[in-house]
Amino acid sequence: MENVIDEAKKDIIEKLIAGGELEATVALLKKQPTVEVAEIMEELMTEEQVLEVLSNFDQENQGAVFSDFDKDLQLWIFEHMDKMDFSDLFSHMSSDVRADFYQELEKDQQLELLPYLKKPVREDVIHLSSYPPETAGGIMSTDFATILSHMTVAEAIEKVRKDAPSKKMVYYIYVVDKKMKLQGFITLKDLIMASPGDMVESYVHTEFTYAEVNEDRESVAQKVERYDLVAIPVINPLDQLVGIVSHDDVIDVIRAEHTEDFEKFMGIVPDKEDNDYLDTTVIQHFKKRAVWIVTLAAVGIISGMIVHSFEDTIYSLMILALYMPMVADTGGNSGSQAATVVVRALALGDVNVGNWMKILYKEFRVSILLAVCLGLLAYAKILFLSWETDIPEAYSLYNIAFVISSALSIQVVTATVIGAGLPLLVRRFGGDPAVAASPAITTVVDITGLLIYFTIATTFLL
Amino acid sequence: MENVIDEAKKDIIEKLIAGGELEATVALLKKQPTVEVAEIMEELMTEEQVLEVLSNFDQENQGAVFSDFDKDLQLWIFEHMDKMDFSDLFSHMSSDVRADFYQELEKDQQLELLPYLKKPVREDVIHLSSYPPETAGGIMSTDFATILSHMTVAEAIEKVRKDAPSKKMVYYIYVVDKKMKLQGFITLKDLIMASPGDMVESYVHTEFTYAEVNEDRESVAQKVERYDLVAIPVINPLDQLVGIVSHDDVIDVIRAEHTEDFEKFMGIVPDKEDNDYLDTTVIQHFKKRAVWIVTLAAVGIISGMIVHSFEDTIYSLMILALYMPMVADTGGNSGSQAATVVVRALALGDVNVGNWMKILYKEFRVSILLAVCLGLLAYAKILFLSWETDIPEAYSLYNIAFVISSALSIQVVTATVIGAGLPLLVRRFGGDPAVAASPAITTVVDITGLLIYFTIATTFLL
């Protein structure tokens, strides 16, 4: 059995290229999955060789392989290929990938390309480029197949055969009326299983899910996931079918949203454009991260004020200062963990805001267990670390250790409940729970932690 | 155009159920997507009504709707349905969902069900249940279609028509030899487009990707994503086709791995079983979180020792104690952000360990910008907060503020580089970069931060 290109085959291709055997190379590459072909070509060939080999593929493969090239190589090819040839290749790309490429061109490059395109391709590209990238319209393709409902099954199959070039998704065939209004869909499997003489009408699924062209791409992804679809139709405000979003685009959306959630949770402002790490400039990285981190440092002024208001306490019992960071860190960690768990449970739909009592009660109980463990550990730690520390006559180290570790335990409970509660609160008011981010929670529980710490210390020790 | 069930329709169904019109309810529900039907039934009916309505669906729909029920309702039905009827329903479930349900039964419930199952179903369930849940075998289904390569296109279509019940995935048809060894695949679209008299052989894709039965599910998901597949074949060590993993299962895997990454990054030990938040007991939640958080609190003893070794410094310049938490927090935040960015870039394949010099250099430059901002902010903060603080005669507040904010700036740079470097280091040694988790980084940069802070302070102030 043969799998995708392995090292041995790569070796052969490398030798063929070195020997100038471009025809044999093309013959060998043609059978491989296009994503592999693109990778091999990028790795082993000069740009000129890529151009030459590419022109030996048929136009359909040219379009597919080109789609899988890096942005830089794509631009090089665009600039060095005969524009007439390029427009043929371009016409054979998937409509969504084509529109994305077009949008990455400079204004004057776009104008250079447009006259070479056939009218339907030109209109398609301009149409698809008009939607914002985070909407259904921005990720949809127009490579779908349609039939009219008054056809017979045999006629429908014939229609699909006739106007389905290889890039078209035909596993779902959309049923429209003469004004392109979407009536329903039929699967290719339905067609195969049906008797050729039957009317399509009796097999059409008229209860189906669709996306609206301006719908958020994340909501589109959720629908595809919920109904286990291969593709979802996209309609415009006139109920006309304008595109489809397929399962592979949905996976891309889920990955991108995943990164966005992760970043938000760490107080990083997500990119609109899903840029690569290395393609993002230092200044862009800085901007993404500085907003929150600087804001939080500014809010940290409140913690500073609290510490200062207890300056006298600290002066009279220095040992308290030594354990401030421990209490703050432990609170930050347990608060962030609770927030993580709740943010994910909300994202996965395991819980919703209506469950808030259950969630907070569960977190409360979890935090009691954590508080006991961490409190005992802190008590032991203080005895171990501070047995030589100078303590004013009036106090015993056991008392102090007990008070500090009690404060830490209470802080663990408070921080956990706050960490779990903040994302729920943000969601309740319509926000994205992930913005109740880890640095934000650290900052908030720092404030509560210091208040708890010093209040307990002054009450029980001074 | 009709979409999925809306409130109005739900209202009608509710009234029908209240009026005891179960037949009309069934007639109305039958057309809806099964996931909707399951939800509506769970929401509006008693368990007894669910059982009665369910028995009015045909067996295929019974299996599909049952698959979408909650675990609790599934178990209730299993216990209250006639076992013979249940075995029919069970046989009509997707093979992977069926095997998952079977594994959730108690041992004695499994033994109760087995005798009612037909031999192929029984063998299939036992076979699929034998693979660990995190492997290709653990998520695959056996609902695939096969043909032999020496058939004509017309014969192949006929074979697919004959043995493809509705749950079977037929968009890819796998070509096998007589020993079930996988030779390649052909798409249903290929078959439709081909001339009926042609041999299947000439259309078979012999260069294809497959998964091995023991392969990690994440690697399977990556292959499906890379090649934009509707499904990927799974083979055993004898190269025989034993199952397929489809695009919708891949989305589930990606979501689960996403949660796992997120949790790991927050120092939470991920569940093996992907349990719901609310289904997880308090003790389980506690165990998942305690491991790391307690370990880190224990490691925190090192920070404690550092603070204690500088006790004299703190005594002679109390103000230093007040700003320890600020330096620690800022370092923790910038380190965690850097780690987040690098972990995601590694997960998305934007970068690999080989790029470590580029990454660290980029992070270094980003951190310089952050350090300047945060340093200036800290300087202003100290002047604002401490203008009334008692400072020994020998020092000026300006000097002290300058030294503390310089230490903070250096800490931001160190923490960022450590935060970016740790995940790279873990990956380099074959580990999962996400374990270079946020709490771990906080703990590590606490130690470096305190060392930097006190070293600089003693050098320049005392």
A333 touches chain B (CB under 8 A): yes
Least CB-CB distance to A325: which of B188, B303, B343?
Answer: B303
Selected residues 215-234 of chain B with any CB under 8 Å from a CB in chain A? 224-228, 230
Q: Return the pLDDT at A5.
A: 64
Q: Return the residue in A147, A258, A391 with the most chain B beta carbons within 10 A, the one to mutate for interface testing.
A: A258
Q: Return the pLDDT at B272.
A: 62
Using the Cα atoms of residue A394, residue A396, residue A401 and residue A402 in order, give the sign of their dihedral: negative
- What is the residue type of A340? T
* B81: Cα separation from own chain's centroid: 34
Burial of B312 (0-12, 13-18, 19+ CB in 10 A): exposed
Q: Return the pLDDT at A274.
A: 61
Strand partners, A176: A148, A182
HSE toward the beta carbon, residue B342, CA cutoff 13 A: 36
| Dihedrals phi, psi of A176, to nearest 5 degrees | -125, 160
For A15, other C-beta atoms within 10 Å of its C-beta total 12
Least CB-CB distance to B328: which of A267, A325, A438?
Answer: A325
CATH number attached to the domain at A300-461: 1.10.357.20
Q: Return the pLDDT at B391.
A: 81
Q: Return the pLDDT at B177.
A: 92
pTM attached to this predicted model: 0.80
**Contact indicator for B164, A193 with CB cutoff of 8 Å:** yes
Reduce the DSSP state of residue A437 to 3 states and report it. coil
Q: Return the pLDDT at A12.
A: 85
* Strands (E) located in A178-256: 182-187, 211-212, 231-235, 241-246
A272 touches chain B (CB under 8 A): no
Strand partners, A231: A246
ipTM comes to 0.79
The verdict on domain B138-245 having CATH code 3.10.580.10 is yes
**Contact indicator for A392, A445 with CB cutoff of 8 Å:** no
Q: Architecture of A7-130 per CATH? A: Alpha Horseshoe (1.25)
For A30, other C-beta atoms within 10 Å of its C-beta total 14
Q: Return the pLDDT at A2.
A: 39
DSSP per-residue codes, B64-98: HHHHTS-HHHHHHHHHHS-HHHHHHHHHTS-HHHH
Q: Which residues of A touch B384 (CB under 8 A)?
A: 301
- Cβ contact (<8 Å) for A340 and B262? yes
- Cβ contact (<8 Å) for A370 and B286? yes
| Dihedrals phi, psi of B28, to nearest 5 degrees | -75, -40
Domain borders along chain B are 7-130, 138-245, 300-461
Intervals of chain B under pLDDT 70? 1-5, 164-167, 271-274
pLDDT tens-digit map of B339-364: 888 888 888 778 888 888 999 999 99
**How far B344 CA lies from chain A's nearest CA (Å)?**
6
Q: Return the residue in A192, A242, A257, A303 with the most chain B beta carbons within 10 A, the one to mutate for interface testing.
A: A192
Q: Which residues of A touch B344 (CB under 8 A)?
A: 259, 262-263, 277
Intervals of chain A under pLDDT 50? 1-3
For tokens 């490691």, what's the residue?
B299
Closest to A27 (Cα-Cα) out of A72, A52, A57: A57
- Cβ contact (<8 Å) for A189 and B164? yes
Q: Return the pLDDT at B273.
A: 62
- Cβ contact (<8 Å) for B318 and A322? no
- The enclosing H or E element of B171 equals strand B169-176
| Token digits of residue A20 | 């100038």
The answer for residues whose C-beta is within 8 angstroms of residue A430's C-beta and 6 or more apart is none
Q: Which residues of B touch A314 (CB under 8 A)?
A: 318, 321-322
Q: Return the pLDDT at A122.
A: 94
Q: Return the pLDDT at A1.
A: 37
Return the residue of B nearest to A408 by Cα: B297
